[in-house]
Structure 1
Amino acid sequence: MVCNQIFNLIVDLSGGKNYYDIRKKCVGDLCYDFSNMEDFLNLKSVRDALGVGDIDFVSCSSTVYEAMITDWMRNLEVGIPTLLEDGIKVLIYAGEYDLICNWLGNSRWVHAMEWSGQKQFIAAPTVPFSVDGVEAGLQKGHGPLLFLKVHDAGHMVPMDQPKASLEMLRRWMQGKLPLEQDGHLSPI
């Protein structure tokens, strides 16, 4: 709570910067416009397809917030090494302009995480993540772990870079990340 208060004070002193995207000013309660997503997810046809009945979708639920508040400052990284040791692939990505979950802090905890492939991950090259021949980010990986910094994006990478995030997910699900710029698999 103390860290959160300090962070909020800094954001206030900055003139209302958007803590999800430091290039922008925060507009609205959530600093992003989720109205299109809310409208879509509340269509009867979509709710029926998802099997959620008459439950309305909301972008930010006070019920969920209150239930998860104690997890805010809990270190959940401790469970990831077990996943990696079991060969479960883990993708950590961050938008380069996100302040609240900034790419540098994420990169540092990923590099500091202790697991059997840590030294090889640290030594692995950082290579471009390109979409349609244009660099859309930087990626680094070894074995089942990949870290990807997405260029020109804030916290909501899919809203800021929809094409790049879709390609990131496609490649990840197909086992084709990381890729070097020439389209060949990076040695990991």
Structure 2
Amino acid sequence: METFLNQNSVRDALGVGGIDFVSCSPTVYQAMLVDWMRNLEVGIPALLEDGIKLLVYAGEYDLICNWLGNSRWVHAMEWSGQKEFVASPEVPFEVDGSEAGVLKTHGPLGFLKVHDAGHMVPMDQPKAALEMLKRWTKGTLSEAAASEKLVAEM
């Protein structure tokens, strides 16, 4: 990935000039240390109340931001749709006919546990990560799961 992204033709196409791509930049890491271990969840309910869509995802083998801890704070977060979110079913997140994860959604909130992935979901499961991002940005992340659920209920 780094070799590809550091090709001059790719850098030119992305418009990044001579900046080297690194998968885990120490410069970015140092700049983000001020956010380390801060509870940023406190501002999220207001965003949800305003209809801002939020997708929280985690690889099932992530040791840094484990899926269970992420699932717990998402479920415990107080907002007007909390009860409905907690009660909503988990449905398979399928990519190319195979289960790539487990998805839970209600209103603007979604939580996705990605199978066979660690902290770097896009590196571990690039096809699933791309499909997740494409569906989420199109607003169809839960629609595919909902239609699969309806077929399963027939």
1:75 aligns with 2:36: no
Letter in 2 for 1:121: F
Structure 1 residue 184: Cα displacement: 5.6
Q: Name the larger-Rg structure.
A: 1
- For residues 25-174 of structure 1, the aligned pairs below 5 Å read 37-174=1-138
Cα contact 2:91–2:149 (8 A) shared by 1: no
Kindly indicate whether the alpha-carbon contact (under 8 Å) linking 1:127 and 1:181 is maintained by their aligned counterparts in 2: no
1:177 and 2:135 aligned = no
Distance of aligned partners of 1:98 and 1:114 in 2 relative to their CA distance in 1, 3 Å threshold: same
- Runs of 5+ consecutive residues of structure 2 not aligned to the other structure: none
Structure 1 counterpart of 2:16, which letter? V
State the identity %.
77
Q: CA deviation at 1:43?
A: 1.4
Q: Secondary structure at the match of 1:182?
A: helix
The structure carrying a bigger helix percent of its residues is 2
SS in 2 for 1:65: helix
**Bigger mean CA deviation after superposition, 168-177 or 100-109:** 168-177
User: Aligned letter for 2:6?
Assistant: N
Match of 1:19 in 2: none
TM-score, reference length from structure 2? 0.87
Per-residue deviation, 1:168: 1.4
TM-superposed CA distance for 1:98, in Å, is 0.9
- For the 8 Å contact 1:89–1:145, the answer to whether it is kept is yes
Instruction: Could you list the structure 1 runs, at least 4 aligned residues long, displaced by more than 6 angstroms after superposition.
Output: none
Task: State the alpha-carbon separation in 1 of the partners of residues 124 and 70 from structure 2.
Answer: 19
How much has 1:49 moved relative to structure 2? 2.1
Change (3 A) 1:169 1:48: same
1:95, 1:155 within 8 Å by CA — same for their partners in 2? yes
Aligned residue type for 2:63: L
How far apart are 1:144 and its partner, in Å? Answer: 0.4
